[in-house]
Structure 1
Amino acid sequence: MKTRLWTLTLLLATGLACAQADSGESPDGAVELAALDAVFAEYADPDGPGCAFAVSRDGQQVMARAYGMANLEWDIPNTPETVFEPGSVSKQFTAAATILLALDGAIDLDDDIREYFPEMPDYGEPVTVRMLVHHTSGLRDWGSVAGIEGWARTTRIHTHKHALDIASRQLALNYEPGLYYSYTNTGYNLQAMLVERVTGQTFDEFSQERIFGPLGMTKTQWRDDFTEIVEERSVGYTPGEDGEWHMLMPFENVHGNGGLLTTVGDLLRFTRNLDTGDVGGPEFIRLMHEQGTLSTGQQISYAGGLFVGEYKGVREVQHSGGTAAYRGFLTRFPDHGVSVSVMCNAGPANPGRLAHEVAELYLGDAISEESQGGDVAGVELDPARVAALAGGYRDTRTGQFMELTADGSSLRVGDGLGGLELTPVSETEFVSPNGVSIAFEGTGEGGRPAAIMNTPVAENVRIEPVGAFAPTAADLAAYVGAYHSDEAEVTYWVEIEDGDLMLKDRYGDGGALEPVYPDAFTRGGSTYIFHRGEGGRVTQASLSQGRVWDLRFERLQ
């Protein structure tokens, strides 16, 4: 009886919340409910998980709706008041806490983090708090290292002790502090721990006192104890191999990188403060929007847990996120007073696409005809000329392999940038709508040229062509052996099976390594490079992937 009453209450709340949102919409900017519902049509199934979204104009919430189910076992629907996790959308809240601490005078953003974390190694050059905020520290992502060890996120109850232990074991950085950008959760877990070490409060206590409470975010907290009962929390679901929905929850206590429990309405209350500065004042607003600057002088798009850029010609400040099967996106168009929050408990959901489709309905004519399509005005090239540029390339910073394939006059990037299409704007330069460009040093006659790749967070990245690698059985035998990394606390065994080079862990699990260039192989998005010593014998291996560069393994046998 209690469950039926609870379900009825939620159903009534859903209708009431939507009705309240509808009545708050301004007459001159009304958006048809049918158009909004159409955006989320695929998540309106009463037999599956779904999403919730909210919209504000000039700080006032004007719309909130929800779709699908919060709990499939109890047939409880999502409502605008359902609590979700928005993944890395949480990072702006962590940056806000760090910046408030700096404004208090309790820390300086240019302090060396070893002042607060003496257990961290001395890398020769200081890693500053500001670098943690902007992802320019060079610190390896602890979760990626845990995955390399064999305990990927969601497979073990990770805590901040684990995160700090892994971070403190890294003898090397991805790069010299400040030289590049590499997204790393480590920097944001360290910020949460930093607040605790400086204030003596838990991170949630500090956040409730300084951020959530003052902004009226009554349904927001940090998931610092995943066993805690949270009223109206949805369950995360992902499709299983059997085609049915399966639970996938973040059963871990790390937070600051993610781990925010909140509602779509509370997210809008926070993002409104990035315009008003009711909490923190003008300097807080400035620091939250201050984009990072590399030691090369390049300004990157990442600010205080926020990406600053444009969407179809309109200035946008946003961040996406995903934790286990939860997905989230929070975006703000400051020149037009429009903000949109989307959260889902369906793993396949793309909240960024959903939020942008909603935003376009509210922005209307603010999106100019010239920017509607997001296409690049390119030039026509002979497909044969483009085909001459296709093939394998090596990122000279990391050794990572990337594949360029020809698609008529365009190039498509495989490993590394996820199938991104690049349109030619000259005989040697190809660009994408989201700001990625590749400029070749020539047109490819007499062999493929090297190129310079630029992205919103990295410029002047040299990629060099690599030749095909077809190792013989004798070649493969040179790599066979055991390889150990103290930094990841793992040993891998390299063996030959049925003519393939296999990588296996302590449990005998693993897979085939695909040869991509001499002494380099790929598997699962990682590039494995074998290094030779005197006499040409293989003595080391290194692993590079998106958030971990050049992790070294010593050959044991």
Structure 2
Amino acid sequence: MASFKILLINLIGLLFLFAPLDLFSQTYADSSAVAQLDSIFSDWDSETNPGCAVGVSQEGRPLVMRAYGMADLENPTPNTPSTIFEAGSVSKQFVSASMILLALEGEISLEGDVREIIPELPDYGETITWRHLLNHTSGLRDWGSVASISGWGRSNRTHNHDHVLDIVSRQSRLNLPPGERYSYSNTGYNLMAIAIERITGEPFADYSNSEIFEPLGMTSTQWRDDYTRIVKGRSSAYSGQAGDEEYTINRPIENVHGNGGLLTTVGDLLAWTYAIQSGYFGEEFHQELIKQGVLESGRTISYASAVRVDEDHGYRQITHTGATSGYRAYLSIYPEVDLSVALLCNVTGASPGSLGSAVSEVFLEERDADETQPEKGIVQRSDEQLKEWTGIWSDPRNYRATEITWEDGELRLNGNTTLHPISGTEVRVGSSETLYRFVDRGDDHPHIQVVREGFEEEVLNPENSAEEFDESWTDFAGIYASPDAETEVRIELKGDQLVAYRRPAEMFELEPVYENTYLAQGWGLVRFVMDENDEVNEFIYSSGRVYDLRFERK
């Protein structure tokens, strides 16, 4: 085994390290493929905008390395295949890899209780395991989303892992019970990076460097654990769309890493995919990396250990995208043909999933559509019957609204997705496999049972429509405080508009969504709660990665 690893190290080094200039100047793909790549990135191929670097390899052999746009607009420097970018959530793979390596060495059990190593995590009465963290089924709130509630989010203040632990330790609730549902949260990956330091006795950055980066010849890769450190060859990052006349700088100002923060090149990422495919870390490691999460309901989800296992262009893929500040990333392996695609960009307007998939299509042979799939039947119901299914429902865990309307002779979900009736009580959501089953629970309006891949999951509750303005909205006025988010908010009625004020000088208009529930544009969902005397005593805040956070009226 040792000699095999040495051979692999040499191969990886030869391909991606020891001859970088030769590698970048040679293209093994045919001219048609290169022309297609250039067309995909034509919007970014300019000296006046940021852009991307892309690399494609097959069986460990580089097929093409290309770069487009500028790495730095202030001191004009073009992107090259050796430019260093930040990999966003693609970085998570190196946390999961470290945890799996430690588990295979017997240093930790992936089914073990997180609180045994991270006692700062509150005891919620249910065990949260490392496996839950790996596949985002822990139910933990995203620490960065909590920080942003107070106005001091990840782009406004420099955070480190002490801040992560502090925020995590204050959370009085989980988003969801562990294992109930997939809910993406950076918190888990930061806690694992901290745990690796506690297990090994060395900084996570040092451990991953000695166990992964150095052995694989990933010499341009390091962690952004100090964002002020000079990194030669690093691109800047920007906000903007292709063709904009002006871009703004959008680089990370945090030292938190593990959830993101990997500084790397497309060549180094391809060295990593080659190590995975060639079995450098062993078959057991590989199987753990792609082991998909299983919910308490028994449903298997696509997310494994910092990779998704699904299909693209008819091929099985192991993939992840990433986004941090102005950086964008995509990394995908197509194991059936041993093809890997790495994409790194330094501008928000570059869509990594769309661009990465388009690149992959260039190098994948077209496959015939699967004709064995049964047709999805649609039943006919009268317009009157279908209109009975219109209304507003909310998820009792986060109070987000689901609205079904009747438009142009069909049912629409939230104004865009068509709902297809497939039985007397069910509709299919668009072209997906998700079903909405209308259930009579004795109320005036049916509840919705959401069915995914045959498994019954959440039930959505019917809600009354939002009321027009009246003077009773003054009952919502007051000062509300949250110890979880360490912040206060003042609610006032300004004319016929409810507004929320947050220090030092931010104001959010509250737009009615349904009864007692408002959307504060740019902030989150606010649901006012009454006590037994119909007096408002708190509101519940929910956003993308934070559910059911309470603000008590002072």
- TM-score by length of structure 1 reads 0.88
Q: Deviations over 1:45-92 (max 9, x none)?
A: 210000111111122221110000000111100001111112111111
* Partner residue, 2:255: 253
* Partner residue, 1:183: 184
**Correspondence 1:13-412 to 2 at 5 A:** 18-20=24-26, 22=27, 24-25=28-29, 31-239=32-240, 243-279=245-281, 281-365=282-366, 367-369=367-369, 379=378, 384=383, 389-406=389-406, 408=408, 412=412
Tell me the SS of whatever aligns to 2:86. coil
* C-alpha distance in structure 2 between counterparts of 1:368 and 1:188, whole Å: 39
CA contact (8 A) 2:219 2:268 kept: yes
* Partner residue, 1:536: 534
CA contact (8 A) 2:126 2:178 kept: yes
Q: Decide whether aligned partners of structure 1 residues 268 and 382 sit closer, same or farther in structure 2, where only a CA change above 3 A counts.
A: farther
* C-alpha distance in structure 1 between counterparts of 2:184 and 2:162, whole Å: 21
Letter in 2 for 1:292: G
* Partner residue, 1:499: 496
Q: Decide whether aligned partners of structure 1 residues 312 and 32 sit closer, same or farther in structure 2, where only a CA change above 3 A counts.
A: closer
Tell me the SS of whatever aligns to 2:480. strand
CA contact (8 A) 1:55 1:341 kept: yes
| Structure 1 residue 384, shift from structure 2 partner | 4.2
CA contact (8 A) 1:44 1:67 kept: yes
* C-alpha distance in structure 2 between counterparts of 1:356 and 1:135, whole Å: 24
CA contact (8 A) 2:227 2:254 kept: yes
| Structure 1 residue 520, shift from structure 2 partner | 1.2
Letter in 1 for 2:191: L
Identity of paired residues, percent? 41
Q: Deviations over 1:313-340 (max 9, x none)?
A: 3211111110000011111111121111
Q: Deviations over 1:162-197 (max 9, x none)?
A: 111101110111122222221100000001111011
* C-alpha distance in structure 2 between counterparts of 1:251 and 1:37, whole Å: 32
* C-alpha distance in structure 1 between counterparts of 2:121 and 2:532, whole Å: 33
Tell me the SS of whatever aligns to 2:361. helix
* C-alpha distance in structure 1 between counterparts of 2:329 and 2:60, whole Å: 20
* C-alpha distance in structure 1 between counterparts of 2:461 and 2:531, whole Å: 24
* Partner residue, 1:440: 437
| Structure 1 residue 287, shift from structure 2 partner | 0.7
* 2:460 counterpart of 1:487: no
* Partner residue, 1:526: 524
* Partner residue, 1:3: none
| Structure 1 residue 425, shift from structure 2 partner | 6.2
| Structure 1 residue 447, shift from structure 2 partner | 7.6
Q: Decide whether aligned partners of structure 1 residues 39 and 409 sit closer, same or farther in structure 2, where only a CA change above 3 A counts.
A: farther
Tell me the SS of whatever aligns to 1:111. coil
The size of the alignment, in residue pairs, is 526
| Structure 1 residue 270, shift from structure 2 partner | 1.2
| Structure 1 residue 551, shift from structure 2 partner | 0.5
Tell me the SS of whatever aligns to 2:148. helix
* Partner residue, 2:511: 514
Q: Which runs of 5+ in 1 are unaligned?
A: 1-12
Q: Decide whether aligned partners of structure 1 residues 177 and 32 sit closer, same or farther in structure 2, where only a CA change above 3 A counts.
A: closer
Q: Deviations over 1:229-278 (max 9, x none)?
A: 111111001139x9511110001100000000011111111122222220
CA contact (8 A) 1:17 1:80 kept: no
* C-alpha distance in structure 2 between counterparts of 1:458 and 1:488, whole Å: 34
CA contact (8 A) 2:326 2:348 kept: yes
| Structure 1 residue 483, shift from structure 2 partner | 0.7
Letter in 1 for 2:260: G
* C-alpha distance in structure 2 between counterparts of 1:458 and 1:492, whole Å: 40
Tell me the SS of whatever aligns to 1:441. strand
Tell me the SS of whatever aligns to 2:296. coil
Letter in 1 for 2:501: K
Q: Which runs of 5+ in 2 are unaligned?
A: 1-18
| Structure 1 residue 449, shift from structure 2 partner | 3.8
* Partner residue, 2:473: 476
Q: Decide whether aligned partners of structure 1 residues 368 and 411 sit closer, same or farther in structure 2, where only a CA change above 3 A counts.
A: farther
Letter in 2 for 1:133: L
| Structure 1 residue 450, shift from structure 2 partner | 3.0
Tell me the SS of whatever aligns to 2:195. helix
* C-alpha distance in structure 2 between counterparts of 1:459 and 1:320, whole Å: 29
| Structure 1 residue 312, shift from structure 2 partner | 3.6
